[in-house]
A and B are shown apart, each in its own frame.
Chain A
Amino acid sequence: SAVISQKPSRDICQRGTSLTIQCQVDSQVTMMFWYRQQPGQSLTLIATANQGSEATYESGFVIDKFPISRPNLTFSTLTVSNMSPEDSSIYLCSVWDRPFTDTQYFGPGTRLTVL
C-alpha cells in the first residue's frame, strides 16, 4: 500500500492569506487527488493532479483559488489562496496505487481553520 504524509497537519490562518499544503508519497504514483472535507461532511474532490499534465479541477473549484503543483511522481502541493472562514476544512491528499493494489489511499489530512 502507498503511505502518504501531509504537512502541515493543522494550521490556523488569518483571512486573506494563503497556505500551501504538501503531500509526499512513499512510492511513485501517477494519479494523485486533492479532497476537501468540510466539518461534519463527506469528501468533495477538488482536483486530479496527474504527473505530466495540468491539474483537472472539479466544478466549483478554480485554479486561481486552489493552485496545484505536481513536480514529480511522489510529491504534490495544494495552495489555498486568499482564504476566508468558509475555507475552514480538512484537506486530504489521495493517490491511486496502480498497478500494484489498484486501490485509493489517503493521507492523514490537513486541518485548516481560517479566522
Chain B
Amino acid sequence: DQQVKQNSPSLSVQEGRISILNCDYTNSMFDYFLWYKKYPAEGPTFLISISSIKDKNEDGRFTVFLNKSAKHLSLHIVPSQPGDSAVYFCAASAEGMRFGAGTRLTVKP
C-alpha cells in the first residue's frame, strides 16, 4: 500500500539555506495532508497541515505547498537550522491516514 511516497530517503542542506522535502500521493480522495517531524527515540510530532481546498499554508519558517493536479506535496523550511535535523514524514488522510516512509533531513552548521 504505497499511496503516499517520499522518494528521497535523505536530504542534507547547509544551515541558513532552504530545505525542500517532497511527497507524492496516488489517492485522489485524500483531502487533508500533514507533515510530522521525528527525532530519534521520540514519537512523531505534528508540524504543519494543509487542506485540499488550499494550495499553500505557512507557519513561521515552515510552508507546505499542495499541487493537486500533480498529486504532489512539499515542505519548505527556510532558513534551515541544525535543530531541524530529524526524519520528516508526510501523511495524507481520507477516512484514515497513510504515511510516507520518511526523509531524513540533516542541516549542517
Verify that A and B bind, or say they do not: no
